[in-house]
Amino acid sequence: EAGVTQFPSHSVIEKGQTVTLRCDPISGHDNLYWYRRVMGKEIKFLLHFVKESKQDESGMPNNRFLAERTGGTYSTLKVQPAELEDSGVYFCASSQVGGRIGELFFGEGSRLTVL
């Protein structure tokens, strides 16, 4: 079974540019999450989709971040325009609805560096 895949693995952009991160969850997983880890800090929740609906987006930092999950399959997270403080590792995770609580299947992350 394929795991959660994320693309790109690493992106280096300049302040003010746009970046789009993509996540393909495990097939059949309706729950999809985005998290971010800034160096040395916690893995911080950004938002949660159930299928194509945003269940909780309370962690989104500001309106420069836009997440979509059209069709309830893969998801994208766009940062526009990027700022220096957006640098970090963006993790996507998925889980089954009704599955084992807390068992999130993570991707390997997309490292974003904003110069």
Partner 1 sequence: GENVEQHPSTLSVQEGDSAVIKCTYSDSASNYFPWYKQELGKRPQLIIDIRSNVGEKKDQRIAVTLNKTAKHFSLHITETQPEDSAVYFCAATSVGFQKLVFGTGTRLLVSP
- Residues lying near partner 1 in the complex (CB under 8 A) are found at 3-4, 31, 33, 35, 37, 40-45, 48, 55-56, 91, 95, 101-104, 106-109
Q: Would you say 70 or 101 has its CB closer to partner 1?
A: 101
- Residue pair 44/59 in contact by the 8 Å Cβ criterion: yes
- Residue pair 79/112 in contact by the 8 Å Cβ criterion: yes
Enclosing H/E stretch for 95: strand 88-95
Tell me the helices (H) and strands (E) count for the chain, helix number first. Answer: 0, 11
Closest approach, Cβ 3 to partner 1, in A, equals 7
Closest approach, Cβ 9 to partner 1, in A, equals 10
Q: Would you say 7 or 106 has its CB closer to partner 1?
A: 106
Q: Would you say 31 or 75 has its CB closer to partner 1?
A: 31
Q: Which two tokens stand for residue 50?
A: 């159930």
